[in-house]
Amino acid sequence: MARFVAPNLMLGNTVLLKHAESCPRSALAIASILQDAGVPEGVYANLFVTHEQSSRIIADPRIQGVSLTGSELPRGRGRTG
């Protein structure tokens, strides 16, 4: 996670991160650490959404970049198959 969150925060990008459904407490802990480090509110946000909702978010034209990791593959803009 740090390999794509940190550079994007340094560039001034907003980061929306959907963690695996099995680790909500880890996701909240990471958000707390970033807040304690001084990341402004709203710049980093956890998304607790379904696969269908993930696909709609990825397809939204306001989203400028997507990084997919893990085995859960949402379908949307920039995704084939």
Q: What is the DSSP letter of 37?
A: T
Tokens of 53: 């909702």
Query: pTM surpassing 0.85?
Result: no
Paired with 46 in beta bridges are 17
pLDDT tens, position by position, 40-61 = 999 999 999 888 898 999 999 9
For residue 34, the model assigns a pLDDT of: 94
Q: What angle do CA 72, 57, 22 make, to 5 degrees?
A: 35
Please list the pLDDT of the chain residue by residue as tens digits (81 residues).
788 899 999 999 999 988 888 888 999 999 999 999 999 999 999 999 888 898 999 999 998 888 877 655 555 555 544
Q: Exposed, middle or buried by CB within 10 Å (0-12, 13-18, 19+), for 44?
A: buried
What does the alpha-carbon distance between residue 54 and residue 73 come to, in Å, rounded to a whole number? 9
* 3-state class (DSSP) for residue 46: strand
